[in-house]
Structure formats: structure tokens, C-alpha cells
Amino acid sequence: MAWGMEERTVSPVIGWARIATGLAQGLLLWGLVEATKHKVWPATDDVTMGALSTVAAMVPIVLLGGLAEIRRLTLIIWASVAAVVLAGLAVHDVASRATENPGVGGLVDDGFWFAAGLFIAHHLVAAADADRKLIARFATYFDLAWKHGVQLVMSAAFVGVFWLVLALGAGLFKLIGIDFVAELIAKPWFALPASGAMFAAAVQLTDVRHGLIRGIRTVALTLLSWLLPVLAFLTGAFLVALPFTGLEPLWESWSATGILLSASAVMIILINAAYQDGEPDTPTPLILRWAARLGGLLLIPLIGLAGYALSLRIGQYGLTPDRILGVACVIAGACYAVGYAVAAVLPGAWMKLLELTNVVTAFVTVGLILALFSPLADPAKLSVNDQMARIADGRLKPDKVDYRFLRFDSERYGVAALETLKKKGGETGKRAAVALTATNRYAESELTAAANAEDIAVWPKGRILPPEFLARAWDEFPQGRSWCRQTRSDCDAVFVDLDGDGHEEIVLRRRDGATVYERRADNGWAVVGTANGFRCDGAVQALREGRFKLVAPRWRDFEINGLRVHIDATWEGCDGTPGTNSVTIVNVPPKR
């Protein structure tokens, strides 16, 4: 029987220690909130604030989980190491921001990744301590990780229900004109310590009722495991269909890597749900055994395709922080894929190599997180270095450099790169200087007006978008540019006089929707409506070729007390179902 599976008694002393830890966490967080509110130290120092808030939010969770699982000395050492490492990562996270673009106070941007790495590392330590050896038995890793995962979910749900009960009680008192309870629970000095204490109490209660946790875990894993054959079949069918469809549709989706990696992650979770702790007393139905073997083999092409798609993007456009995180996910996924594929074909015990694969990949994942969110392999730094190398060797011309990325999305490394480019002069230096003056990532300028034009196909052919539209309209309505920048091959601007006043509007189309812009008396452009219904086969091509006509609306507008109200008429869609295909212009102000 796996370690910890038997019923055990948790000392009340541990329970009180947990509640005290939760209270202390809540009070510390309340103190940080108050410091932010009153603009006093440590809130006046973003770096210190980032370190303290990260440690206060995460290290107490380590203590709550470790008090009943880890020997005292080991727990003290581990919690101290975790605090130092988390503080260091937070310091780097906050300090990396450009001073001109600091973000949100001292809050870290990468807290999710810190928490994920901490969860994995904690169970590597806890299992090793439980088995009294550096590499524990797989059953110990399995039991502790899944137990604490269920505990976290249940404890968070308990805190949520606790607040629903408090809100209900406050509502009852409000019915008789007493607002004290509602005002009390809204105070941070009450809310944060109370939440911390309730979360700690829930951890203790679920620890005492260990059989309950085990039962919930077993039911959840059993249900999940029966989804494995479904996913294995769908994935296999997808891969069989690829030779007939080709890879081009994958690349056109602009989300191939994310979907492939997500499918791989779910496959890994479901295989583990079927395998569980691998102990002989955990029998697995034959269909799940074969589905797990098939899933392990299918991970190879899934991860391979994800890596190939990512390499194409990097080769074409260079590194970005998201792509570097994608590379890290592909590396971790490759560890799983190779190990699970070998486990699927090896004779002997069913998928036995899965155990070693999981442990090794856990260490690899922790190492990747430490590298990526420290100066060692900071994604922003690597991305900027790649961009600068492409500029230096001529692969990126001055008009193709993503100055916006360097200014707003690559932290202090990008700002430093812009300063370097500015000093070098030339066209690139001129554009870098303009980018350095930008204070709004969405604001357009001479720097980006030309780039905007490259993102759009203009119809009728030969027409050119007005410079004031490129430089000004999207300054006020940035959603237009973001649409076109994301799908450069599927964005059209059509000149058409929609209202018959002798002046053309611009219809900016992306996929099946469009935004309508109107020129104003001051030569500016403003959004006056939206249009839908371009999804039908041939509709986009007909729009581009001018094979359309303007017709009067079937339904006239209301005018109520001088206010014009427009009706969005329904239409028969491509498949005969109702849809909308109207330009929505509601309460339009007169032209200026």
C-alpha cells in the first residue's frame, strides 16, 4: 500500500499551528495592502514589495502542506530555501521591467509559473523526506501530489462557500437595516486573515479525513481515465487525416502549437489517471491499458508537430517571450513523449517506465522554470538578443522591426536595445527614437503608419489608405490594427459610400466581421458601426471584386425625442438559419 494511504491521526497541535499560519499569512497580506493604500514602505519600493508579496502568498502554503508530512528540520530548511528562491525570482521579475513602463506596482507578472514550480518542487522534497532517500518511490510521489492537489481544490472551494455564507448573513442583517456585518466583512483587516484561517482549517479538516480525500481522488481519476480511449481515438484519427489534408491548415490556424501542446498535456494527465500509482493492488481494465500504450506512442507525433510549428514561427519571425515559453513546454513534453513511447513498447510490467519518466521530467520542469524566470534564460532578454542579431545581419529591415515589442513587451532589455539602436543612427535609429517617446502601446505614429498599411489589402485595387486614417483612426480605435496584425493575410479595407453623401467610408474587414469608419470634417476618422455576415462562401471574394450593391434597409429607424434608434435586422444565413448582416449605427451624432 502506498505511503500515506492508510488512515492516520493528525495532532490537534498541527491543526492550531496551521490556523496560526493562515492567520499570519492573512495579516501579512493585509499589511502589504495597507502599505499600498497609504503609499508607505515597502509599497514605495517595487522590488521589495514584489519579493514580500510573493513570499507571503506562497511560502505559507508550503508550511500548511508540510506540517503533517515533512520532518520539522527538513520543513524549516525547505521553507527557507523556497522563500529565498521565490524572493529572488520576484526581485528579477519586478526589476526587469522598464522604469518607463513599470506595470502594476510591486506585483509579479509570473506568479502562476512560480506557483507551478513550487508545487512540483514541494512534492519532490516531501516524497524524498517521507521515504528517507533522495529519489522516493513513485507511489509516494503519486500519493502526496494528488492528495495535496485535491486538498487545494477543496480548501479553496471551502473558502468560497465560507464567503457565500458570510454574504448571506450580511444580507439578512441588511433586511432589518443593520449594515454592520456587510461593512465588517468588506474590511481587508477582516477579509484577508479570515480567508487565511479558513483555508488552513480546511487543510486540517481534509487531512484528518484522509479517507475522504482518497475516495474523491479515486473517483476523479477513475472518471478521467475513461476519457483516455476517447482522446486516443480522436488523436489517432487526426494524425491519420493529416496526410490527406496536408500541414498547411495547421500553419494557417496561427494556434497550432498551443492546441497540439494542450492536447499533449491532457493526454499525459489521462494516461496518469489510468496508471495511478502503479501498485499491484490498483488493477487497470484492458481497454485503458491499450489506450495508455497508444496515447504514449501518439505523444511523439503530437510533440513533434508542435515543435516543428514553433520552429517555423521562430525561423520566420524570430523569438518572442511566448515562443520561448513554448520551447520550454516542448522540451518538457518531449521528455514525457520519449519516456511514455518507450514505456508503451517495452515488455514486462505495463508502462513501468512511466514512473521514472514522471520523476525525471519533474526535475527538468523545475529546472526550466528556474532558468526562464531568472537572469539565466530570461525570455525577454533572449527575445531582444535575437531581434538585435536579426537587425545586425540584415534579416530585419528598418521598416520590419517590431519597435512596439521592444518598447512595451520586452522589459528593460527592449528599452536598452532601442537606446542602442538610437545611438547607431540611420533609419532604424530614427524609428527607435520615435518608439522611445511612445507612452501608449496602442498609440499610432509616423513610426507605425507604414506598417499598418502593409497589414491590409485595399480594395478597389490601386487605392491607398489615407495617412491620417493609418496614423489617427487606430490611435482612437486600436482594435482595428490588432485584428489585422494578427491575421495579415485576411484583412481587407474597402472604400464605399454607404450613406450616399458623396463621401466614401472605409469598411475594415477581418474574417466574418467588419468595422465601418467615417471621415469627419477635421479630416479625422471615427468608428460609426459594425458589419457582419461575410462568412458565406464567396462573400469575401465578391466584396474584394466589387460584386455587391447597396440596398435600402428593410426596416426604418425610430426617432424618439430626437434620438435615432436603429434596428438590427435578421437575415437568412448561408445554411438557412437566422443571423445578422446589418451595419449597426445606433444614435449616430451628426457629422462635424
Q: What confidence tens digit (pLDDT) does each residue in 508-521 have?
A: 887 677 888 888 87
Instruction: Give the model's confidence band at 559: pLDDT under 50 very low, under 70 low, under 90 confident, else very high.
Output: confident
Instruction: Report how far residue 517's alpha carbon sits from residue 498's, in angstroms, rounded to the nearest whole number.
Output: 10
Predicted confidence (pLDDT) per residue in 221-246, tens digit? 999 999 999 999 999 999 999 999 98
Q: What average pLDDT does range 79-105 have in this prediction?
A: 83
Instruction: Report how far residue 353's alpha carbon sits from residue 336's, in angstroms, rounded to the nearest whole number.
Output: 10
Q: What average pLDDT does range 194-206 have in this prediction?
A: 95
Cβ within 8 Å of residue 418, ≥6 positions away: 403, 406, 407, 432, 435, 436
| Type and span of the H or E element at 527 | strand 525-532
Instruction: Report how far residue 581's alpha carbon sits from residue 512's, in angstroms, rounded to the nearest whole number.
Output: 10
Q: Count the neighbouring beta carbons within 10 Å of the beta carbon of residue 483.
A: 20
Quick one: pLDDT at residue 481? 53
Lowest mean pLDDT of 87-91, 101-105, 130-134, 347-351, name the range. 101-105
Which cell numbers hold the place of 544? 474584394
Q: What average pLDDT does range 194-216 have in this prediction?
A: 90
Instruction: Give the model's confidence band at 468: pLDDT under 50 very low, under 70 low, under 90 confident, else very high.
Output: confident
Instruction: Report how far residue 25's alpha carbon sits from residue 318's, in angstroms, rounded to the nearest whole number.
Output: 43
Quick one: pLDDT at residue 213? 86
Quick one: pLDDT at residue 58? 97
* Residue of higher predicted confidence among 474 and 294: 294
**Residue 71, pLDDT above cutoff 50:** yes
Residue with cell 466614401: 504
Instruction: Report how far residue 48's alpha carbon sits from residue 36's, in angstroms, rounded to the nearest whole number.
Output: 12
Instruction: Give the model's confidence band at 326: pLDDT under 50 very low, under 70 low, under 90 confident, else very high.
Output: very high
Cβ within 8 Å of residue 96, ≥6 positions away: 378, 380, 411, 412, 413
List alpha helices for 176-255, DSSP H. Answer: 180-185, 188-208, 210-225, 228-245, 248-252
**Residue 260, pLDDT above cutoff 80:** yes
Q: Count the neighbouring beta carbons within 10 Å of the beta carbon of residue 564.
A: 13
**Residue 451, pLDDT above cutoff 60:** no
Residue with cell 490601386: 462
Which cell numbers hold the place of 251? 500553419
**Residue 584, pLDDT above cutoff 60:** no
**Residue 379, pLDDT above cutoff 80:** yes
**Which range has the top average pLDDT, 105-109, 372-376, 485-489?**
372-376
Predicted confidence (pLDDT) per residue in 18-54, tens digit? 999 999 999 999 999 999 999 999 999 999 999 999 9
Q: 450 near 399, Cβ under 8 Å?
A: yes
Instruction: Report how far residue 369's alpha carbon sits from residue 13's, in angstroms, rounded to the nearest whole number.
Output: 35
Which cell numbers hold the place of 453? 498599411
Lowest mean pLDDT of 77-91, 214-228, 548-562, name the range. 548-562
Q: 412 near 378, Cβ under 8 Å?
A: no
Quick one: pLDDT at residue 462? 84
**Residue 579, pLDDT above cutoff 60:** no
* Chain centre distance of CA 532: 29
Quick one: pLDDT at residue 1? 38
- Sign of the dihedral defined by the CA atoms of residues 528, 534, 538, 540, in that order: positive
Q: At 515, is the secondary structure helix, strand, or coil?
A: strand
Q: What average pLDDT does range 276-298 have in this prediction?
A: 90
Angle at 318 (CA atoms; ends 316, 321), nearest 5 degrees: 135
**What are the φ/ψ torsions at residue 366 (nearest 5 degrees)?**
-60, -40
Instruction: Give the model's confidence band at 487: pLDDT under 50 very low, under 70 low, under 90 confident, else very high.
Output: very low
